[in-house]
């Protein structure tokens, strides 16, 4: 009878790798916790920035403290770390803010165990829900809530020194949307020069392009045709073929035929009864000359985002064929004119069909400052748009986290068995967020968090961290407010991501693809 070998059998290809049980868990934990440690120093109003420097010929520099931006631009190989990176991206897409908080909370939760976790998450969510305040029916209080939320969001960003100015800009821009939440109607333009305090909100639409030569620079009651079509066939472009002629006169005939073809196309466009033509592609000299002769303003090379947003705010549609003018929906606005911002000329559309459309013009000394200001403002706009849809708010400054931690601790005290240990660890993870905020500000976090915990135990449910004074303060009086949607998404996403990582007991890595040298026939 043949004997059976008990030696392990390798079922993977050569070069493949497998990690099991504790080794797999340890690898997951180390990668995910390292990601949390990377971004936790950016948390809170006193958080630090990171410099991201790319390598290679086109090396670029980025200065930011936005968690999603940092994680998006770093190379990650660890599978658990990739889970947290993807989670922060979802957080950014869903609610626009809380990307650092959700990563740090998930990393802290990984320091505990999974048993009793879901009960703790449920208790935390119910505590958060019961603490939410809704002023949606009171216009004055709701506007103040929006101002407080925008201020809280911007307090941890580059714009914190101009917080009042940008808070007002963001709230006015979002309230113009009249509850639609369509952030595409808010256009952000970055222009070098001046300071951040020179940034302003323009009630209209600005296009960073130039009007064609010998064309009207100002048009009232504009009828606009927005197109994506080639306007460069006045040049001979016959690819993949040769044309032989026996004289220069024949070349002139070909050029004339091309010009006639373009002239016919321009005439078809003019039959739409327009006085402004905006094209995503280039407009060459000859059609530009024809538009000028017809008294039509022609704007070329408006990028794809530009024509899409223009179609939205002017009420038009993007056309590519012009045989049936009756089927084309034209855009409209009361006035188109050239304006100067700094040393640049831009085209200003006022009185557009979409009345809520507006443009925020950002000014700054360097491109890095402008880029970070745009990211910061985008976060504030996203949070405000979510709050307009769901007007519930909660208090910031670590207040909500401590409130949830207190509810989870009470649940743990009533729970028999090992699940109570997991719940205590869950509460400890929630308390780590105000701890990190205090640490980043240089204060004694152990003392502050102990005071904050005692205040909540005594029933002071609006107590939080006052990072200006380094003490415990009343968040309701200080106006430190956050969106309920953001806090809820942070809690649920962090718990789900950490649970996914904790359930891993096996990591299988595919064998690396071998490079095959090129074989030349010579």
- Which one has a higher pLDDT value, 130 or 307? 130
Asked whether the predicted pLDDT for residue 403 surpasses 70, the reply is yes
pLDDT range class, residue 1, cuts 50, 70, 90: very low
| 298-357 pLDDT tens trace | 988 887 677 888 888 888 898 888 888 888 899 999 999 988 887 888 889 988 888 788
- What's the CA gap between 463 and 451, in Å, rounded? 10
The average confidence (pLDDT) of the chain is 83
Angle (CA) 381-385-389 rounded to 5° is: 170
For the stretch 413-465, pLDDT in tens is 998 887 888 889 899 999 999 999 999 989 999 999 999 999 999 999 999 99
pLDDT digits (tens, 9 = 90+) for 78-103: 777 888 888 888 888 878 788 888 88
- Residue 127: pLDDT over 60: yes
Compute the distance between CA of residue 432 and CA of residue 427 in angstroms, rounded to an integer: 9
> According to the model, what pLDDT value does residue 466 have?
92
Per-residue pLDDT of 172-187, as tens digits, reads 999 888 777 778 888 8
Looking at residues 106-134, what average pLDDT do you find? 82
SS3 per residue for 93-148:
HHCCCCHHHHHHHHHHHCCCCCCCHHHHHHHHHHHHHHHCEECCCCHHHHHHHHHH
Q: What is the pLDDT of residue 446?
A: 92
Helix axes 21-39, 79-94, angle to 10 degrees: 40
pLDDT at 234: 46
CA angle 334, 337, 338 (to 5 degrees): 160
Asked if residue 124 lies in contact with residue 401, where contact means CB atoms within 8 angstroms, the answer is no
The residue among 19 and 382 whose pLDDT is bigger is 382
Does residue 63 surpass a pLDDT of 50?
yes
For the segment 55-65, the average pLDDT, to the nearest whole number, is 74
**Adjacent-strand bridge partners of 19:** 507
Alpha-carbon span 300 to 487, nearest angstrom: 44
Say if CB 73 and CB 39 are below 8 A apart. Answer: no
**pLDDT higher than 70, residue 141:** yes
Least confident of 199-208, 249-258, 374-383, 465-474: 249-258
H-type helices in 7-116, by residue range? 21-39, 67-72, 79-94, 99-109
- Give this prediction's pTM: 0.74
Length of the chain: 522
């Amino acid at each position: 009878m043949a004997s059976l070998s008990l030696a392990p059998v390798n079922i993977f290809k050569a070069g493949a790798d497998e990690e099991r049980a504790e080794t797999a868990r340890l690898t997951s934990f180390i990668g995910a916790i390292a990601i949390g440690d990377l971004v936790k120093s950016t948390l809170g109003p006193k958080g630090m920035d990171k410099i991201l420097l790319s390598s290679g010929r086109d090396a670029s520099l980025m200065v930011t403290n936005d968690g999603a931006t940092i994680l998006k631009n770093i190379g990650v190989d660890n599978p658990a770390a990739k889970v947290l990176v993807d989670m922060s991206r979802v957080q950014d897409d869903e609610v626009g803010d809380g990307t650092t908080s959700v990563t740090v909370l998930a990393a802290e939760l990984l320091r505990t165990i999974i048993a009793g976790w879901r009960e703790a998450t449920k208790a935390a969510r119910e505590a958060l829900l019961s603490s939410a305040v809704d002023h949606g029916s009171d216009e004055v209080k709701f506007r103040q809530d929006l101002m407080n939320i925008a201020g809280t969001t911007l307090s941890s960003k580059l714009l914190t020194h101009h917080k009042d100015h940008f808070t007002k800009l963001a709230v006015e821009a979002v309230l113009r949307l009249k509850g639609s939440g369509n952030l595409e109607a808010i256009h952000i333009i970055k222009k070098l020069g001046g300071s951040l305090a020179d940034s302003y909100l323009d009630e209209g639409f600005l296009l960073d392009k130039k009007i064609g030569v010998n064309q009207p620079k100002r048009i009232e009651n504009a009828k606009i045709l927005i197109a994506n079509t080639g306007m460069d066939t006045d040049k001979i472009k016959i690819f993949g073929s040769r044309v032989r002629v026996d004289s220069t006169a024949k070349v002139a005939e070909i050029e004339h035929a091309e010009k006639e073809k373009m002239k016919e196309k321009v005439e078809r466009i003019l039959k739409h009864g327009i006085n402004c033509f905006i094209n995503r592609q280039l407009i060459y000299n000859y059609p530009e000359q024809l538009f000028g002769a017809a008294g039509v303003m022609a704007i070329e090379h408006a990028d794809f985002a530009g024509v899409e947003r223009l179609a939205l705010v002017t009420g038009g549609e993007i056309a590519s064929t012009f045989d049936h003018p009756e089927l084309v929906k034209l855009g409209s606005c009361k006035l188109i004119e050239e304006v100067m911002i700094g040393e640049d000329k831009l085209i200003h559309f006022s009185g557009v069909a979409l009345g809520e459309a507006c443009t925020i013009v950002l000014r700054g000394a360097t491109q890095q400052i402008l880029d970070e200001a745009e990211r910061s403002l985008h976060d504030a706009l996203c949070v405000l748009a979510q709050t307009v849809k769901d007007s519930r708010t909660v208090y910031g400054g670590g207040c909500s986290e401590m409130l949830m931690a207190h509810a989870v601790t009470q649940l743990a005290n009533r729970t028999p068995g090992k699940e109570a240990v997991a719940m205590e660890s869950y509460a400890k993870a929630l308390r780590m967020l105000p701890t990190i905020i205090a640490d980043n500000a240089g204060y004694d976090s152990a003392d502050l968090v102990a005071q904050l915990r005692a205040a909540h135990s005594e029933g002071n449910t609006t107590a939080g961290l006052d990072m200006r004074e380094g003490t415990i303060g009343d968040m309701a009086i200080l106006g430190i407010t956050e969106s309920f949607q953001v806090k809820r998404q942070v809690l649920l996403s962090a718990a789900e991501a950490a649970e996914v990582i904790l359930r891993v007991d096996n990591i299988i890595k595919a064998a690396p693809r071998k490079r095959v040298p090129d074989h030349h026939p010579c």
